Amino acid sequence: MANQQFLKPGKKIDIIFENEILQKNAHYLKAVIYDYEGTKIIISQTSPALNKNFINRKILITFLVNNDGRLTRFGFSAVFIDLIKDYEIASKKKVEALIMQQKEEAGPLDFRMYFRVKPPQGSDLSLFYNEEKFNLLDISLGGAKFTHNKKQLFRPADSIDLTLIIGGATFDLKTKVREVWDPDETGFSGTNLQYVSVEFTDINRQMEALLGRAILTIERELLSEGKL
């Protein structure tokens, strides 16, 4: 089932645990394809590393494909099924490797699968609540994470009307709070900030198109800088 035109040995991939996509402590792991046999894909040990305690976990494998000069993110569901301690790679060196069982054909990834990027400094993405500009930690077409001043505390399940600015375009955005946490949970105690994860509940086609292009632009920049 592995798509030979996409998943060649040496291909860089990103791995996300499916049940953690919207969590603040979601695992975003990087690896490289070693080989594949039918529906079994052999990859390098991830960074950060996985051990056998993660076997049978469902994951989303994603990767970038260059289509006529345009980068598109592809992906598919899989299951982590085994860990090999002494897998021999092409150089004859023995390394640790992971085996993933592919569950579906690879295809263009719907951004509603919540692949997130961290906007770099100088990004033209801005998120506001009334007059307060939030510190945007990451964003996807499915939602965002940010920090803000504790003068206004949010709670899980709260509905928040936000404003998203993409370049010169402004959009009213309806969101629902999925999770909140304090700085001391992240190791930065003593600050007057609240960390918030929201899900976008109403996104129009124009905003979806602009935000999708903005996310791909950020990915392209990170890829060129060797950070992706």
- Do residues 129 and 152 make contact, with C-beta atoms less than 8 angstroms apart? yes
Quick one: tokens of 32? 């490289």
Distance, in Å, from the CA atom of 182 to the CA atom of 179, rounded to the nearest integer, reads 11
**Given this chain, do its domains 12-109 and 125-224 carry the same CATH topology?**
no
Q: Which value, to the nearest 10 degrees, does the dihedral of the CA atoms of residues 55, 140, 23, 97 take?
A: 20
Taking only the tens place, the pLDDT of each residue in 77-88 is: 899 999 999 999
Query: For residue 47, what is the DSSP state?
Result: B
Checking phi first, is residue 167 left (phi over 0); if not, alpha (psi -120 to 50) or beta?
A: left
Look at residue 184 in the predicted model and tell me its pLDDT: 59
Distance, in Å, from the CA atom of 36 to the CA atom of 63, rounded to the nearest integer, reads 15
Q: State mean pLDDT over 185-213.
A: 77
Q: Domain spanning 12-109: which CATH class is it, in words? A: mainly beta
Which carries the bigger pLDDT value, residue 178 or residue 23? 178
- Confidence grade of residue 228 (pLDDT, cut at 50, 70, 90): low
Which carries the bigger pLDDT value, residue 106 or residue 56? 56
Q: State mean pLDDT over 41-67.
A: 89
Choice among 69-78, 108-117, 133-142, 213-222 with the minimum mean pLDDT: 108-117
Which carries the bigger pLDDT value, residue 145 or residue 20? 145
Q: Would the pTM count as exceeding 0.85?
A: no
Taking only the tens place, the pLDDT of each residue in 74-123 is: 888 899 999 999 999 988 899 999 999 998 888 876 544 456 788 888 88
So where are the chain's domains?
12-109, 125-224
Query: What is the CATH T-level fold of the domain 125-224, as seen in this structure?
Result: Thrombin, subunit H (2.40.10)
Q: Residue 190 burial by CB count (10 A; 0-12/13-18/19+): exposed, middle or buried?
A: exposed
- Confidence grade of residue 146 (pLDDT, cut at 50, 70, 90): very high
Distance, in Å, from the CA atom of 228 to the CA atom of 188, rounded to the nearest integer, reads 26
